[in-house]
Structure 1
């Protein structure tokens, strides 16, 4: 607060700054690789994008456009929402501390939410600092757009909104990258960063928010990099971009808690920061006026530097953003009727409709705020939402392998999980395992063993194809099920599965499992595979015995019940043949002839 007050006079003076460094043109790059995709709902998804420039995976969340499902061939404008100085690594403040998810549910733009970037100003830093190699400008303006356009049906029409640090970045990213954005909005941004005292204020704030050094970002305050990232200095580069600028006054407002002193909020730091935002924004807007660059400006009579005010501005600025992005600002007129209407009426959590009914393979659907309702004459009308809805979307919804829902979501008897059935499989969810699809032969065998109440427990991963041999595998809490057309479906578990994994799974000479694990003497266990068996006991550990001469000789000696006992090694080469050791002896094979040696 003292720092903020000390800077009021220099900022109000609006001291001039020198010309910025030349803005760099946008260069289209090949899209980076997506390391992981996690659906959070049927229209909210997290991507972990491996950024070539930053050399690490960056999480980006998407709130998909209202008509994403209803118009599968359509493309949609993009609206980036940038976070503040204390951006967290798990989730954007726009979804954690503001109502972006609900607000944009009926808007026909895809909202892009970068996650992380604390104190980064969403810029390319000169050097790594505090364990981070920040290259946010490259990521947001060059690496991410081709990915969104090629994989996520985005158009080249983009807008940027940000609060505080993000508001500063929204303006300079739009200015530095010609043609990148049609719209830029700053809520409580600091829009003159090189005015006397501002570099020191930014350094102080970055030290406080994560221990970062502003010199690693843009060099010393005399560096041209500071000028090259100053919205005030870059103002002339914003011609033709639709602009929205807002800030409070720092005085106690409707979302603040009064301290007992008239006009003074309990959010003392937020008062000072908002005052700085107001002064820098005024200087910036004054320069826009001199350049004859229009902007929508809202100086609020009160309000501190805090999320309720930024949430308010997000809503207030939407009409302006929608016009710039070329989308309808209002809610689509829709109503639910017939079988879908009846299903929606019985599931109040769905909320209001977002679209009308639309055709899809085998039936019709309608989107609601909380999920979707699907109908066909064969399956009836059933709602899908929440985490099950996210899993259904991850499985490509009705166009995927599951088909249409055949029942509503329901809780399972153990009180832990939930289930929804579909034409060609089921989706299961628990807080620990997430939502997973189970289908086909694996579902049949799992069901025969008792589903989630059986020895396998719940599924913990999707079914995948085995990479080098025809088959499939799906992981469950207590061991995976393997499927092969010749061998059927069988589960491998525990330390025997550990041995199977060590040997290379189905790619080793063991091949696919051909039977369920069975008990042996002294608490031992064994599993049979195409090429041999794996045996385990508490005193001998897990070892594989290959079909052939060694197995035949051990069989003739009585397996683990005979004089040799359990295996205590794998088969290994010896001069002229092979050998395998057992608890009470060993077996050698030379020239195809086995010999049993007892200790």
Structure 2
């Protein structure tokens, strides 16, 4: 949870203390169960349901090993973003599948990015781990559960999404197998235990970092309800009903503890007092993170209660009670590192990366680009040459040279199939554009351009040739804004740029459509409308006007009249006969429209009608 300071935070802290005092006497630190660093748990996997019906609506490669996937969730009725950090050997072993670690967010989860990448160094830290990391995005105050009712504009069905809808996509598209671990902080720690208990065999490891692990004991439903109101205005009653309802017990890790038998478990919390990552207040031992103090006290109390029950049930777990520390990200980042050896053992992967060395042409390039960090793999073969992965990018070597591809450009390269894809091997490292605004890499069959405003996109083939002829990013179109896509109903391709789009078809070649002419073209159905594909780029005409010729007609624009289409046919021929825009009619001022018995089109100085095949020019 990302908790604010202030009066409400102080109230929550006071509430935590009042809850602790009457209960702490019977739930002391004797709740420590035995640490676990045993062999992997061989629980039978819960097979993903292939008929869940979820589909993928979009994929965005952020880097070559970080991907955002938008999944259409049938249960929630909206696209849900899930980000993936791909396994260390993802590129080196393209046929391999990998275990996964699911990292759950806290109460104040945003719809933009999972807190584990936004608030910690998890992306770079996981880079040398041979697991796919699954990062659900969103779910503020949800506890990653299926809610009884819709609330605050949300239809939360997170348990269904995570355990039924998402797994088939991860297994089919992202080379994830059914060996899974789950860990989370605060709300996510609660959910890690609850989801594991409610779905036996789905996860082999569950880790709670400052989770609330007893949700139905005296005062806890009220504390949870208060926190949910504070984090987004959510009603806990919409989640599980009134505190006495069976749904609360069905989602309480303490009540469900027996169902965790056979799992590898990790539980941690601080004490709530100021620790090494806290800012001290004027009161000794008290940090300025008042809400974080109160929430961590609640976590410690419920974690002890939970651990005591595990101990009585004979369920081993690693328990880490820190002597200090509040409810904040620096401690959870620390706990992830502490838990990793146990996670790796449960998943059957190595704790540390295998030794790798750097030499030859790749070694020289690596030495010149120290920001790439340490090597993650040895060299390996790729289509057209060799490659090696580093913590912050990749190096490729071929007869076209040895070059670095990294960051967002690396993501666009991966999205296009990497060395075996449409772009082929790199011919340059990352270079700056003349205007100082963007960056690019050259490849055998194209280029990838990036700016902070547009992201990274490949440009290739006939579209690249025409864009280059017009001056690349310095020409009228600016930088690419979209990837090239095939036109849906006719042979051809289109790519969006800042100021318009470049269209290609086998019959018309490659041409730019821009500005207000582009806007009008879209209103008329793009290439699927009566105009078809562009046959020219924009052509300047009198009084600052411009036009683009299409298969089925033209679109004219001028500062005085705006943009209008004129289709091939009798009206166009009549306008041509009197000198186009230079003649007595002037510029077009409307699209063609129906009139009784025929059609009409208006111009600056008159109109043209066609009735029963008879053309009339009216000045």
Q: Considering the TM-score relative to the shorter chain, is it more than 0.5?
A: yes
Partner of 1:36: 58
Which SS does the other structure have where 2:403 is aligned? strand
1:94-129: CA deviations, max 9, x gaps? 111122112111001111111111111111111011
The match for 1:20 is none
Q: CA deviation at 1:592?
A: 4.1
Cα deviation for residue 273 of structure 1 reads: 2.0
Whole-Å separation in 2 of the counterparts to 1:11 and 1:27: 42
Equivalent residues in 2 for 1:18-417, closer than 5 Å: 29-376=51-398, 378-417=399-438
- 1:226 counterpart SS class: helix
Which segments of 5 or more consecutive residues in structure 1 lack a partner in the other structure? 16-23
Task: Name the CA distance, whole Å, in 1 between partners of 2:49 and 2:247.
Answer: 20
3-state SS, counterpart of residue 317 of structure 1: helix
Higher alpha-carbon deviation: 33-42 or 69-78 = 33-42
2:518 paired residue number: 497
Structure 1: distance between partners of 2:290 and 2:16? 11
Give the alignment partner of residue 3 of structure 1, picking from 6, 15, 22: 15
Cα separation, 1, equivalents of 2:421 and 2:99 = 26
Which stretch shows the higher mean deviation, 171-180 or 498-507? 498-507
| CA deviation vs aligned residue, 1:261-316 (integer Å, no higher than 9, x gap) | 33322323322222221121111111111111111111222222211111100000
Supply the distance in 1 between the matched residues of 2:301 and 2:171 (Cα, whole angstroms): 38
Cα drift, residue 406 of structure 1: 0.4
Secondary structure, counterpart of 1:158 in structure 2: strand
Asked if the contact 1:31/1:147 (under 8 Å) is kept, the reply is no
- Mapped contact 1:189–1:281 kept (Cα < 8 A): yes
SS of the residue corresponding to residue 548 of structure 2 reads: strand
- The farther-off stretch of 558-567 and 581-590 is 581-590
Verify the 8 A CA contact 2:49 2:164 in the aligned structure 1. yes
Cα pair 1:518 1:526 within 8 Å, conserved = yes
How big is the shift at 1:432? 1.0
Conserved in 2, the CA contact under 8 Å of 1:244 and 1:297?
Answer: yes
1:558 paired with 2:570, answer no
TM-superposed CA distance for 1:227, in Å, is 0.5
- Note closer, same or farther for the CA distance 1:145–1:412 as it changes in structure 2 (3 Å cut): same
* CA deviation profile, 1:142-180 (whole Å, cap 9, x unmatched): 111111111111101111101111111111110001111
Aligned to 2:530: 509
Q: Distance in 2 between matches of 1:589 and 1:307?
A: 73
- Distance (Å, rounded) in 2 between the aligned partners of 1:593 and 1:487: 32
3-state SS in 1 of match to 2:167: helix
Would the alpha carbon gap of residues 590 and 302 (structure 1) be closer, same or farther in structure 2, given more than 3 Å must change? closer
What SS does structure 2 have at the residue aligned with 1:210?
A: coil
Q: Contact 1:466–1:472 (CA<8 Å) still a contact in 2?
A: yes
439-448 or 538-547, which deviates more: 538-547
Secondary structure class of the residue paired with 2:466: helix
Alpha-carbon distance in structure 1 between the residues aligned to 2:53 and 2:394:
31
TM-score for the superposition, normalised by structure 1: 0.95
**1:54-78: CA deviations, max 9, x gaps?**
1111111111110111111111111
- 5+ long unaligned stretches in structure 2: 1-12, 28-45
Deviation at 1:591, TM superposition (A): 5.0
Name the residue aligned to 1:525. Answer: 546
CA 210–589 in structure 1, closer or farther in 2 if over 3 Å, else same: closer
Partner of 1:450: 471
How many residues are aligned here?
589
Structure 1 residues 143 and 38, CA gap change in structure 2 (3 angstroms): same
Tell me which residue corresponds to 1:596. Answer: 617
Quote the Cα distance in structure 1 between the aligned partners of 2:503 and 2:285.
68
Q: Structure 1 CA distance, aligned partners of 2:105 and 2:54?
A: 22
Contact 1:25-1:177 within 8 A present in 2 as well? no
Q: Distance in 1 between matches of 2:255 and 2:192?
A: 14
Higher relative contact order (CA 8 A, sep 6+): 2
